[in-house]
Every structure is written in C-alpha cells, then in structure tokens.
Amino acid sequence: MKYNFDEIIPRKGTGSIKYDKMNVFFGTNDLQPLWVADMDFATPDFILKDIETRLSHPILGYTMRKPGFNQSFIDWMQKRHAWKIKQEWLDFSPGVVSALAVAILALTQENDKIIIQTPVYHPFFDVIEGNNRTLIDNPLKVNEKGHYQMDFELLENQIDQKTKMMIISNPHNPVGRVWTKKELLRLGNIAVKHNLIILSDDIHSDFVYDHHQYIPIAELSPEIAQQVITVTAPSKTFNVAGLSTSVVIIPNEQYRELFRKKMSTLHLFLGNIFGATAFESAYKNGEGWLDQLIDYLSNNLDFAVDYIQQHIPKIKVHKPEGTFLLWLDFSDTGLSHTQIKDKLINEAKIALNDGKTFGKNGEKYFRMNVGTPLANLAFALEKLKRHFS
Ligand SMILES: Cc1ncc(COP(=O)(O)O)c(C=O)c1O
C-alpha cells in the first residue's frame, strides 16, 4: 500500500497543543505551527483500525496489557535495530519524560548531581531541577560546520562522588546527531568506570537517515547494559503521542526493582486501553508504513536544507542524521535573539521552538519540525525567505 503523506489534514480545534495552544507560548494562534514534535500526518490506518475494533466492545474498564504488548516491541527492536531484549527487562511508563522522572526519584537522592548535554530537550531540566537534584551541564561542542560532539574531557572532570546519573538523547533533540558506536562506547566505558547511571532517551530512534545507524547504548556490552536505562515509545514514530504509552528497558535487576517500586508507589503502571492497542499494532504492523515515512521525511529535510542554503544563506543549517527536526542557526542575521523571535512571530508568522529553551547555547537558534506535508513546509520556507534573506 502506498501512503499519502501529502494530504493536508486540518487540526485546529482538535485540542492539538501544536495548533490550539500557540497563544500561550507565542501570544497568538494565528501562526503556522512547526514547533511541538508531533507530525501532521494521519496515524497509520492499521492502528486506527485496531483501536476501532477495541472500541466496538462497549466496556472500557480496567484492562491489562496483553503478552503481545512486550513481544511486539521485542520483535521490533530485534528486526529494526538488532537489539536482543529480554522480556524481564521491560517495563511500562505512560510517558518517556515521566519514566525519566521516576528513574531519578527511584535511583538518586536529593542534591545528587545529574549531567545533561545542552542544547537538549527542555523537560530534561525540569525532571532534574524540579526534583531537587543538581543539574550539571556538559555542553555539546560544535565546530564551524555546525557538527556537534560530546565533550568527554569535560565530562570526566565533572564527575565526582555526588554525580549519579546522566541523561542522553539518542538521536539527539534538537541537534540531530545519531551517536556513533565509537562515541557511545566511550561514554559507556566512562559510565562503567564511575558507576554512573545513563538514562538514554531513544524516543527518536526510528528516525535515522542516509548511512547513519541508531545504536542502543545498552547493546554495546553486558557491563555497559548494567549502567543503562533506555526509554522509548511509538509516540513519535507512529504519531500517537496523545496515547501516553511508553516502554522502559532495564537490564540491571537492582535498578529494575527500584524503578518498579517507585512506579508502584506513584501508581503510574496502569496505562490506557487505546495506548496499549496502538503500541502493539504499531510494532507488529508498522515497518512498511515507517519505511515510506522515512523516505518522505528525508525528502522534506533535503528540500528544506537545499532551499535555505540557496535562498536564505544567513540561516545556517544542515541535514540532521536523525529526528525530524531542523536546528536553525540565525547568528549571521545580525539580529538579537529577541529580534529574530519577534520577526518569526510577527512578520513570518511561523511558530518555531525557541532555541534558548534548550539551554544557554541555544541563543539565536530556533528548531523547525518538518513532519508536515511538503506543501506546508514549502509555504513556511517561502515566508522565512521573505523576512530573513
Ligand atoms: C527527546 C524527547 N524525549 C521525550 C519526548 C516526549 O516524550 P513523552 O511525551 O513520552 O514524555 C520528546 C518529545 O518531543 C522528545 O523529543
């Protein structure tokens, strides 16, 4: 079956955060939204059909996840990413971010230090600081070509007795790196050496382009696996973020028990019927759909990067290795961060994520989500050209 990702589906009025909550963040709803990281494509038909089938039974009482839930994910990870996961390593979480928060509560104490690599997905700050842990920033290094790398030297210097954990994003939101085996091995070995727990947020792992390859850090060696908690979900891949259903992989038995205990005391383990149905359906049936989606997104990314490089050279950009997000560098425009933001909202009338929410080093950057029909993307790029070239 050939899927149609060009179809424009109106979302205004559905309660979509991306469309209906712009006024809270941008002061108006009258913008073209390319911010929140969900996609403007229909959730695949096979998922909607399985939800409809479940809905045809009129009772929606307390419902457990069936054995096919875990198995569908195990098979997916084996097929798509060559990672052999054992049943007993798996746990449920409503969200990826809630799993990060639960892991922090379960495995660290107040005032313990937790490292992140800015610029990075902003809720990482909230789950650390909001839970009274100390945030340590290990900023990514960026070269003049806009290529980001981990700063291992600084990292080793930052780790002390109070440093218990590190949260990574693989592929990295917002800079689009897909961490290589070499980088992850180096990081994993540092974690083993210093008994550092790595929370690996791999929610974007199904979005990888060209020759790049997603590698789960826990897959690199049994020793490294003991230090890693991986969290992922079908929510980005299959556009089902509104169904709040994620998965946690914890090979270390002691960490797994502590995580489960915290999930239990917070009473977060139940989940919802439609999320469970969608999860299983996605991972069982989703390969063909995802392959077509990746082609479409890759084309969108190429189109946007070519367009910007050709028509708006003051904005620096390159194709991300993974994710469906472009990290736009406006520093050559000669404008201040506030001026850029003002122009985006009041003149170009497009809603992009403010780079400063990802960390101090996001100054003069804005993040653009290309998970939208090409016609929408082209329209937004034309407006950017009109106001920034
Ligand atoms: C890196 C990353 N982690 C987590 C999430 C959100 O996950 P959840 O909604 O399951 O908490 C996002 C969404 O944009 C993300 O980009």
Of the residues 284, 313, 333, the one at which a domain ends = 284
Q: Are strands 365-369 and 353-354 parallel, antiparallel or unpaired?
A: antiparallel
CA dihedral 152, 155, 161, 164 (to 10 degrees): -90
- Distance between CA 267 and CA 244 in Å, rounded? 15
Cβ(9)–Cβ(298) under 8 Å? no
Confidence at residue 158, expressed as pLDDT on a 0 to 100 scale: 98
Examine residue 309 and state whether it is found in any structural domain, yes or no.
Answer: yes
Of the residues 258, 284, 310, the one at which a domain ends = 284
Residue type, 135: L
- Distance between CA 164 and CA 168 in Å, rounded? 14
CA distances from 235 to 24, 196, 205, 206, 229 (A): 24, 28, 11, 11, 18
Examine residue 220 and state whether it is found in any structural domain, yes or no.
Answer: yes
Q: What is the CATH number of the domain that holds 105?
A: 3.40.640.10
Q: What is the pLDDT of residues 63-80, one digit of tens each?
A: 999 999 999 999 999 999
Q: What is the CATH number of the domain that holds 331?
A: 3.90.1150.10
Confidence at residue 251, expressed as pLDDT on a 0 to 100 scale: 98
Considering the domain architecture, whether residues 243 and 328 belong to the same structural domain is answered as no
Cβ(192)–Cβ(223) under 8 Å? yes
Q: What is the pLDDT of residues 242-272, one digit of tens each?
A: 999 999 999 999 999 999 999 999 999 999 9
Confidence at residue 193, expressed as pLDDT on a 0 to 100 scale: 98
Confidence at residue 103, expressed as pLDDT on a 0 to 100 scale: 98
Q: What is the DSSP letter of 201?
A: E
Q: Give the number of other CB atoms < 10 A from CB of residue 156.
A: 12
Q: For residue 178, which of 200, 194, 161 has the smallest C-alpha distance? A: 200
Considering the domain architecture, whether residues 263 and 132 belong to the same structural domain is answered as yes
Considering the domain architecture, whether residues 278 and 291 belong to the same structural domain is answered as no
Of the residues 264, 284, 304, the one at which a domain ends = 284
Q: For residue 220, which of 156, 255, 170 has the smallest C-alpha distance? A: 170
From 120, 201, 202, give the residue whose CB has the most ligand 1 atoms within 8 Å, as the site to mutate: 201
CA dihedral 12, 17, 23, 29 (to 10 degrees): -20
Start-end of H helices in 109-252: 123-129, 152-158, 181-194, 222-225
Confidence at residue 154, expressed as pLDDT on a 0 to 100 scale: 98
Considering the domain architecture, whether residues 251 and 262 belong to the same structural domain is answered as yes
Examine residue 163 and state whether it is found in any structural domain, yes or no.
Answer: yes
205 lines ligand 1 (CB under 6 A): no
Phi, psi of 110 (to 5 degrees): -55, 145
Examine residue 12 and state whether it is found in any structural domain, yes or no.
Answer: no
Considering the domain architecture, whether residues 143 and 198 belong to the same structural domain is answered as yes
From 97, 125, 232, 358, give the residue whose CB has the most ligand 1 atoms within 8 Å, as the site to mutate: 97
243 lines ligand 1 (CB under 6 A): no
Q: Can you list the residues of the chain whose pLDDT is less than 70?
A: none
Examine residue 347 and state whether it is found in any structural domain, yes or no.
Answer: yes
Range of the domain at 322: 17-44+287-388
Considering the domain architecture, whether residues 223 and 110 belong to the same structural domain is answered as yes
Which atom of ligand 1 lies at the shortest distance from residue 95's CA?
10
From 100, 124, 173, give the residue whose CB has the most ligand 1 atoms within 8 Å, as the site to mutate: 173
Residue burial 74-86, b: 16+ Cβ < 10 Å; e: rest: bebbeebbebebe
Number of separate domains in the chain: 2
Q: For residue 323, which of 208, 241, 212, 194 has the smallest C-alpha distance? A: 208
Considering the domain architecture, whether residues 232 and 327 belong to the same structural domain is answered as no
Residue type, 253: E
Cβ(212)–Cβ(201) under 8 Å? no
241 CA distance to ligand 1 centroid (A)?
9
Q: How many Cα atoms are found within 13 Å in the side-chain-facing hemisphere of 187?
A: 32
Residue type, 107: L
